[in-house]
Amino acid sequence: MVLMVSTKADIIARLRRDILPLGGFRSAGHGHDVIDLGPINQAFPDGAFPLGAIHEFISSGIEDTAATSGFILGIISRLAQKGGLTLWISDSRTLFPPALLLFGVQPDNIIFLDLERELDCLWAAEEALKSEGLAAVVCEVQNLSFTASRRLQLAVEGSGITGFIFRKNPRKLTPTASIAQWKITSLPSETAEDMPGVGFPRWQVNLTKVRNGKPGSWQFEFAGKNFRPLPTLRAVPQQLQKKAV
Amino acid sequence: MTKRFVAIWFRYLKTDWYIRRIPGLAKTAFVLSLPDHGRMVVTAINAIAQQRGIYAGMSVADARAIFPALHVLDDKPGHADTILKGLADWCIRYTPCVAVDMPEGLVLDATGCAHLWGGEKNYLQDITMRLQHLGYQVRVSMAGTIGAAWALSRFGEPLAIIEPGGEKDALSPLPAAALRLQAATLERLQKLGLRQVGDFMEMPPSALRRRFGEAMLQRLDQALGTEEEHLQPVVPVEDHQVRLPCMEPILTRAGIEIALQTLLENLCARLKTEGKGLRTAVFKCFRVDGKIMSIDIGTSRATTNVTHLFKLFETKLDTIEPALGIELFLLEASKTDDVSPVQKNIWEKNAGLQNTALFELLDRLGGKFGMHRLHRYLPDEHYWPERSIKPATSLSEQLTTAWKVERPRPQQLLARPEPIQVTAPIPDYPPMLFRYKGKLHTVKKADGPERIEQEWWLQEGQHRDYYTVEDEEGNRYWLFRLGHYDADKTPGWFLHGFFA
């Protein structure tokens, strides 16, 4: 009898695996081979960066926007490795295509949709997330209501595309249905042996909210083509959770 | 297939039009007039005025002398043309090929159309009845040639139908004017006593040509069918057009959707057999009140996928107002392309520019917001940052030059560089401090300068010396100094971008 020999821990582990897809996470282990964020992986309930979900990025100020777009592009470069296209929807775009090469993204593999109204952006994002054939969808908006985020999350659960909602200078941080909420800020770079000049981009990566996971804060460097975690302080999750609220 | 033509003669075209607008005129004698050589000349008359002996071409003063209570309205030059074009559009319901026959008629190419109305007689009756319903008095006839149909409609029995080959017998008792001849030719025929077509139809062509010219022989041949005559349709006939007439006017959205679905299925099935795909399509709805509602879509590549095309139309269906009902739906593929064989295996799930699902998504987005909102950028051979990219002309355009990777470029670029105040050692050092939007930044690390010269053949101006700098908080900026330090002026500093 299988049930008899399986221990309590096994049963719990299996139940967890069953519950995860119901919470919006795709099959476990999906993101392992594609995106390896080192210590951040453990913050997610199944130990891998969730694909086929909505990630929300908050940025205040254009400096943070630049840092956040760098981090997103680092992830997209992995998602689009097989030549997939990314749709970048925005109502106020300042992204400069030639810079994407720095993060391993071919600028001609991104299709930009520049709209005027936020509602149109969200409509387009939902439509894009529903269809198959894109590697990722990025939607730059200022505000995201709970209903809108639910719609987007439901759309990705059907298609399995990873969506990035990039909220620039949000007026109010209301709860949303996205799986994770990130906040990326720049850190001073360092050069080898204190050589003059500006080094690789470094970021403070704050995972302020994650469904069923452990929020935290890490420092990363994007060295050439890979995320490299910096061996610094581990974050205290409780503090950050308070901050996020 | 033997050709069949219908000629429609609007006997009181312009006056009928006025009666439609002002029904009170129906019972009165009235004429339309235009000034000509300093006097008012009657240009159109209604039936009552005609009974009084008034005819087009006489002066208004003469007409008033005959019938003092005559109403005289102002005519507009070119008005008949406008009315006839509108009527020609309306007649599309009977055949796709309708031509305006100035000054007061229409010619329909009814080849292969009449059986849809249950025979030629019913076809003509339907045309007459509906036009009369609209308020136009018409005479309609059908023949194998345009000339014969024209002659019969003006001078023959009402609803005359000539079987193919019967043109000669039908034309011979008609007056010579039935052949659409010039006034001078008619006058000469009259003088010679050749009053009926039959009088000179059998004469040797060489004799006729010598006396009346080539044009007269051509008209005769055209009427008899020995020489072909071409129509100039008001709406160019599309190769790929499907139509769906309705027994009852359609009022509901569900009904319109069913019609669209049926038409798309028919059209796509036809395109498939020809190995073609649809690029642009127009869906037209002919309303009972004579208005035509139309919506159009475009796809970024040739397709015959009905579900996809339906979705494209669906976003625009709201703009169709059925009003009193729609009696004819028409779908035409205004632009088609050959479907490349590559396209057949792209149902496989491969991402990238060959992906059909992606193209369908882009069609939907482009259809809703306009294709000009979708951008894809390719590298351009310029160092000047604003000119280093160019929008791709199509979504599948390939790179012609490689992207330049040797120098870092900022993730966020301001559309217009913003001036900043700096403290910088001269001549070529990065700034130590800079103030942007009121905030002071201390520069901790810096790279540069990277000098980018203005392309003088495109634009006059000074060069830019770019520096990548990092402030005490770790934010990275792209600054530049415009031009050199000179004795008389200090160069401007600008902030152009933000690095990740």
pLDDT for res B316? 85
Subunit contact A202:B444, Cβ cutoff 8 A: no
B contact residues 110-139, partner A, Cβ 8 Å cutoff? none
Is the link from the previous residue into B449 a cis peptide, with omega within 30 of 0?
yes
Q: Measured between alpha carbons, how far apart are the two ends of chain B, in Å?
A: 72
H helices present in B295-395, as ranges: 306-314, 356-369
Closest approach of A52 to chain B, Cα-based (Å): 15
Given CB atoms, is B472 within the 8 Å cutoff of chain A?
yes
d(CA B34, CA B36): 6
Given CB atoms, is B369 within the 8 Å cutoff of chain A?
yes
pLDDT for res A232? 61
Which conformational region is residue A74 in: left (phi greater than 0), alpha (psi within -120 to 50 degrees), or beta? Answer: alpha
Subunit contact A96:B409, Cβ cutoff 8 A: yes
Is the link from the previous residue into B427 a cis peptide, with omega within 30 of 0?
yes
Given CB atoms, is A187 within the 8 Å cutoff of chain B?
yes
ipTM score of complex:
0.82
d(CA A144, CA A125): 12
Amino acid identity of B94? Answer: Y
Tokens 């007026």 locate to A171
Cβ atoms of B477 and B439 closer than 8 Å: no
Largest distance between two CA atoms of chain A: 68
Given CB atoms, is A222 within the 8 Å cutoff of chain B?
yes
Residue of B nearest to A123 (CA): B365
Interface probe, candidates B384, B398, B411, chain A, greatest A C-beta count within 10 A: B411
* Nearest by Cα to B18 from B2, B33, B3, B7: B33
Which positions in chain B touch A199 (Cβ < 8 Å)?
A: 445
Cβ atoms of B346 and B354 closer than 8 Å: yes
Q: Are strands B476-482 and B464-471 parallel, antiparallel or unpaired?
A: antiparallel
Given CB atoms, is A108 within the 8 Å cutoff of chain B?
yes
User: Which residues touch A106 (CB under 8 Å, ≥6 apart)?
Assistant: A80, A100, B403
Subunit contact A110:B376, Cβ cutoff 8 A: yes
Calculate the alpha carbon distances from B65 to A94, B26, B53, B56, B59 in Å: 80, 22, 11, 15, 10
d(CA B210, CA B217): 10
Given CB atoms, is A230 within the 8 Å cutoff of chain B?
no
Given CB atoms, is B72 within the 8 Å cutoff of chain A?
no
Which positions in chain B touch A197 (Cβ < 8 Å)?
A: 445-447
Given CB atoms, is B392 within the 8 Å cutoff of chain A?
yes
Residue of A nearest to B391 (CA): A108
Q: What's chain B's Rg over C-alpha atoms?
A: 36
Subunit contact B375:A94, Cβ cutoff 8 A: no
d(CA A76, CA A73): 5
pLDDT for res B346? 39
Q: Which two tokens stand for residue B458?
A: 């495109």
Phi, psi dihedrals of residue A212, rounded to the nearest 5°: 60, 15
Interface probe, candidates B412, B436, B437, B479, chain A, greatest A C-beta count within 10 A: B412
d(CA B215, CA B221): 10
Nearest to A133 among B357, B373, B403 (CB): B357
Q: CA angle A182-A114-B396, nearest 5°? A: 105
User: Which residues touch B264 (CB under 8 Å, ≥6 apart)?
Assistant: B306, B309, B310, B313, B331
- Could you read off the pLDDT of A81-140 as tens digits, one per residue? 766 788 999 988 889 998 888 888 888 888 899 999 999 999 999 999 988 778 899 999
pLDDT for res A161? 86
Tokens 């050199």 locate to B484
Task: Give the DSSP H or E segment for B443.
Answer: strand B439-452
User: Which residues touch B317 (CB under 8 Å, ≥6 apart)?
Assistant: B253, B256, B257, B260, B295
Closest approach of B135 to chain A, Cα-based (Å): 48
Given CB atoms, is A158 within the 8 Å cutoff of chain B?
no
Given CB atoms, is A10 within the 8 Å cutoff of chain B?
no
Q: What is the 3-state secondary structure (H, E, C) of B77-126?
A: CCHHHHHHHHHHHHHHHCCCCEEEECCCEEEEECCCCHHHHCCHHHHHHH
Interface probe, candidates A95, A159, A186, chain B, greatest B C-beta count within 10 A: A186
Subunit contact A107:B472, Cβ cutoff 8 A: no
**Residue-wise DSSP of A35-50:** ---GGGGGGSTTSSPP
Given CB atoms, is A178 within the 8 Å cutoff of chain B?
no
Residue of A nearest to B366 (CA): A113
Subunit contact B476:A198, Cβ cutoff 8 A: yes
Subunit contact A106:B403, Cβ cutoff 8 A: yes
Q: Band of the pLDDT at A164, cuts 50, 70, 90?
A: very high
Nearest to B413 among A94, A132, A202 (CB): A94
Is the link from the previous residue into A188 a cis peptide, with omega within 30 of 0?
no
Given CB atoms, is A115 within the 8 Å cutoff of chain B?
yes
Subunit contact B351:A82, Cβ cutoff 8 A: yes
Residue A30 has pLDDT above 70, yes or no: no
pLDDT for res B22? 83
Given CB atoms, is B404 within the 8 Å cutoff of chain A?
yes
Calculate the alpha carbon distances from A243 to A142, A215, A216 in Å: 20, 11, 11
Residue-level pLDDT, tens digit, chain B, 500 residues: 688 888 888 888 888 888 888 888 778 888 888 888 888 888 888 888 888 888 888 888 888 888 888 888 888 888 888 888 888 888 888 888 888 887 888 888 888 888 888 888 888 888 888 888 888 888 888 888 888 888 888 888 887 888 887 888 888 888 888 888 888 888 888 888 888 888 888 888 888 888 888 888 888 888 888 888 887 877 777 678 888 888 888 888 898 999 999 999 988 888 888 888 888 888 988 888 878 888 888 887 788 888 888 888 888 888 888 888 888 898 888 888 887 654 444 344 444 455 677 778 888 888 888 888 888 888 888 888 888 888 887 777 778 888 888 888 898 999 899 999 988 887 788 889 999 988 899 998 888 788 998 888 888 888 899 999 999 888 999 999 888 877 677 778 999 999 88
Which positions in chain A touch B377 (Cβ < 8 Å)?
A: 97, 107-108, 110, 112
Given CB atoms, is A119 within the 8 Å cutoff of chain B?
no
- Average pLDDT, whole number, for chain A? 82
Of the two residues A2 and A8, the one the predictor is more confident about is A8
Q: CA angle B137-B141-B145, nearest 5°? A: 140
Calculate the alpha carbon distances from A200 to A78, A222, A223, A228, B467 in Å: 19, 6, 6, 10, 16
d(CA B278, CA A184): 46
Given CB atoms, is B375 within the 8 Å cutoff of chain A?
yes
